[in-house]
Amino acid sequence: WRETRRKVWERDGQQCQSPLQPPVCRGKPSVALKECHIDHIKSGKLAGNELNNLRTLCRTCH
């Protein structure tokens, strides 16, 4: 999971990808890897842990 987490965080430019507009965090410039949450876009067993189903969120938006 650590490697997947890092890949998602790097892909997302180390920024919160909250779907809320405006995001609760107000678009902070970056989220540290140790402080970010990796969120499933679609939940459930069928959605899985594929990179295209994961996004970086800050603690505030998660």
pLDDT in tens, 9-26: 999 999 989 887 776 777
- For the stretch 18-50, pLDDT in tens is 887 776 777 676 888 888 899 999 887 777 888
In angstroms, rounded to a whole number, what is the distance separating the alpha carbons of residues 51 and 49? 6
Q: Running DSSP on this structure, what letter comes out for residue 19? A: -
Please determine, for residue 5, whether its predicted confidence score (pLDDT) is greater than 80.
yes
pLDDT at 38: 93
Cβ contact 33:6 at 8 Å: yes
% of the chain with per-residue pLDDT over 90: 35
In angstroms, rounded to a whole number, what is the distance separating the alpha carbons of residues 7 and 53? 12
**pTM, rounded to two decimals:** 0.79
pLDDT at 30: 83
